[in-house]
Structure 1
Amino acid sequence: MRKSYRIKKEAEFQAVFDYHQSVANKAFVLYQMPKSHQKHFRVGISVGKKIAHTAVQRNQMKRYIRQALLEIKPQLPAEIDFLIIARKPATQLNMAETKKNLLHLLKLGKILSEST
């Protein structure tokens, strides 16, 4: 996923947090904020040290999340910023389970339609 699709700056992360629109499932938390006049969605991914203790684990989880989002990219609306924060159970997921959990989370947040 290109860097233009990512939220990197702390101020941008904080703006999405401060919007206070979130949903969660057992593996991930999703914060979202509508943002008009954007060419494409932007996503921020956070995996804390308390969740995955080694950098290798954290980076693997982030790769799984990015790959899952890349696979469903055409279905995601353009005018939205969202954050995905991993929870402890996410460390036990493989790629297919990660994608399944993310799809569930995006449907809970009404970013994807139920028929998808």
Structure 2
Amino acid sequence: MTMKKEYRVKKNTDFQAAFKKGKSFANRQFVVYSLKKPEQKHFRIGLSVSKKLGNAVMRNQIKRYIRQAFLEMENEIQNEYDYIIIARKPVTEMGLQEIKKSLTHVLKLSKVLKA
């Protein structure tokens, strides 16, 4: 299953808004910016994976894992938010389940998971 287009943050202005106005939370693997958008019907995610983390194949795999983790957690995530996820170096050695666990941890810190 793939992530629908309307679930993605693509525009630079949307990224910048999340960086400026949103709240950020981090652990060793991820930085997550969350920006509340009350008019939104479902969450959107934007991904940032630096070239320092590896070649294109590695970066795309990381992005696929993050998207998949979000799809699996879809019901637990609050809908009226934009999330910007920035991957850090340790992610390169992680599998899907570890990435999901780490993302869940950061989202719990940011208090955006439904109780």
TM norm structure 2? 0.94
Secondary structure of residue in 2 paired with 1:23 = strand
Identity %: 53
| Alignment size in residue pairs | 113
* TM-aligned CA deviation for residue 53 of structure 1: 2.2
1:93 corresponds to: 94
TM norm structure 1? 0.93
Deviation string, structure 1 residues 47-96 (Cα, Å, up to 9, x no partner): 0101x220000000000000000001011111111100000011111111
Contact 2:22 2:36 in 1 (8 A): no
* TM-aligned CA deviation for residue 111 of structure 1: 0.7
Measured on the aligned residues, the alpha-carbon RMSD in Å equals 1.0
| Uncovered stretches (5+) of structure 2, i.e. residues with no partner | none
Deviation string, structure 1 residues 10-59 (Cα, Å, up to 9, x no partner): 11100000115101001000011100111101110110101x22000000
Q: Structure 2: how far apart are the matches of 1:58 and 1:104?
A: 21
The amino acid that maps onto 1:105 is V
Stretches (4+) displaced over 3 A? none
2:79 corresponds to: 78
Q: Structure 1: how far apart are the matches of 2:15 and 2:25?
A: 16
